[in-house]
Amino acid sequence: MISTSIAGFKLKHAGQDDVPVILDLIKGIAVYEKLSHEVVATEELLMKNLFGKHRYAEVVIGYEGDTPVGFALFFHNFSTFKGRPGLYLEDLFVYEEYRGKGYGKALLLYLATLAKERECGRFEWVVLDWNQPAIDFYNSLGAKQMKEWIITRVDGEDIGKLAAKF
């Protein structure tokens, strides 16, 4: 466990034993974002992709005492312009009943510390345009929205359709 400046709140880099907790937190953020119907993650998929031969992402879990209350799932990307890796925050979530205590901020600041230690050229994430509390929170920490960039995505069966064009 990693101590924080918040009494009783600690961070832990997730291990294989934490997969059920990670899945519960994923389901929690899906409820918050009204996207529960899109969750297809399973403990088996998380075990394979977070702790298997290829580790595609990392997770830090926040604990109040012994209770998991939030998490950050992140991975490295790469900036061609900077010639360095970046840290990409996929999800940051704290259960509603634990919000307002600084836990989300602690998770985000810890990731900023990791990005600095790992000599990342960028630390970035996206936020849903309707999530004004999150936008305000990120702005208060000095983050800037990149309004000139548009997220482009191909997912699900469309990946196979696109690949078939090769």
Q: Rounded to 5 degrees, what are φ and ψ at 47?
A: -60, -45
pTM of the model: 0.94
* pLDDT tens figures, 15-45: 999 999 999 999 999 999 999 999 999 999 9
- In total, the chain counts a number of residues equal to 166
Out of 63, 95, 103, 138, pick the active-site residue.
138
Measuring CA to CA, which residue among 128, 150, 110 is closest to residue 33?
Answer: 128
Query: Looking at residue 22, which CATH number applies to its domain?
Result: 3.40.630.30
Residues of the chain whose pLDDT is less than 50?
none
Q: What is the pLDDT of residue 76?
A: 98
Q: What is the pLDDT of residue 102?
A: 97
- The total number of structural domains that make up the chain: 1
> What is the residue range of 139's domain?
2-163
The yes-or-no answer on residue 138 being catalytic is: yes
